[in-house]
């Protein structure tokens, strides 16, 4: 089992049972004790778990939003494909508002080296967007929203961030919801996140939603916007005829990856 696969397996086991021993994880991953202990140290550094005597304990309670470190491990291939497709929808010199989260960080990585003006809503996305360089030294112009930085998530929140977002106008807002539902639309786990997402959405001429298939099966409690506020959804979910008819009611374009 490769390193990424082991990390995802360990994270999923801890998500299901909260605590596991090194011996249990060795059997599940087919790896040595030394390898598992190294994996646990790496995952602890990402905020996925806490090391305890003889094993590890999850830092995520049941029903809670998984932390950034754990979400970064999930659906990585799908998020990379989604990010590349989102980047393909953006024209040069666009002004783009970019949501926070692991999918948004992949989008930032995909547009590094592009001639865009970008307002990223997390420090991870800021770092990813500034790391690349295109022809003739091209990099996105970066705007910071201000506000409070949430520990662990490293995303911008609060009234100052919302006010600064609303003072600008963007060509495109890229929204990465915590969950998507045909009836309720785009959802977030908490009020502060929803408020920032609404500010970005309402300040843009076009709204692009980046959502892996898992987001269509997830649940969250705070409404951001209904699907009629969305122009394009980029996803790896495969829609049946009924789902496609539902999306057509909202005039939403779907880009499948």
Which pLDDT tens digit goes with each residue over 169-207? 999 999 999 999 998 999 998 899 999 999 999 999 999
Structure confidence at residue 256 (pLDDT): 93
Structure confidence at residue 133 (pLDDT): 60
Reported confidence tier of residue 66, pLDDT bands at 50, 70, 90: low
Run of H or E including 180: strand 179-181
Phi/psi region, residue 142 (left: phi>0; alpha: psi -120 to 50; beta: rest), is beta
For residues 144 and 246, the model is more confident at 144
Strand-pair partners of 233? 209, 254
Instruction: Tell me how far apart the alpha carbons of residues 17 and 40 are, in angstroms, rounded to a whole number.
Output: 16
Please tell me the number of Cα atoms within 13 Å of 248 on its side-chain side: 7
User: 104 near 121, Cβ under 8 Å?
Assistant: yes
Whole-angstrom distance between the N-terminal and C-terminal Cα of the chain? 26
DSSP state of 112: T
Q: Given a cut of 90, is residue 145 above it in pLDDT? A: yes
DSSP state of 135: G
């Amino acid at each position: 089992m490769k390193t990424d696969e082991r990390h995802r397996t360990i994270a999923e086991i801890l998500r299901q049972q909260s605590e596991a021993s090194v011996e249990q994880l060795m059997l599940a991953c087919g790896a040595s004790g030394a390898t598992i202990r190294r994996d646990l140290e790496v995952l602890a550094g990402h905020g996925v778990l806490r090391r305890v005597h003889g094993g590890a304990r999850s830092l995520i309670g049941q029903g809670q939003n998984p932390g950034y470190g754990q979400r970064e491990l999930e659906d990585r291939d799908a998020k990379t494909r989604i990010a590349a497709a989102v980047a393909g929808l953006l024209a040069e010199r666009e002004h783009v508002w970019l949501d926070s989260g692991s999918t948004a960080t992949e989008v930032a990585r995909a547009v590094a080296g592009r001639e865009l003006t970008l307002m990223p809503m997390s420090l991870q996305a800021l770092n990813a967007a500034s790391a690349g360089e295109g022809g003739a030294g091209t990099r996105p112009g970066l705007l910071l929203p201000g506000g409070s930085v949430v520990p662990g998530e490293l995303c911008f929140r609060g009234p100052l961030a919302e006010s600064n977002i609303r003072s600008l106008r963007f060509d495109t807002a890229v929204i990465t919801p915590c969950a998507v539902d045909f009836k309720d639309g785009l959802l977030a786990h908490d009020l502060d996140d929803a408020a920032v997402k609404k500010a970005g959405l309402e300040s843009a001429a076009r709204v692009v939603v980046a959502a892996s298939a898992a987001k269509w099966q997830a649940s969250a409690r705070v409404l951001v916007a209904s699907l009629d506020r969305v122009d394009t959804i980029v996803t790896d979910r495969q829609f049946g005829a009924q789902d496609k008819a539902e999306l057509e009611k909202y005039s939403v374009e779907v880009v499948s990856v």
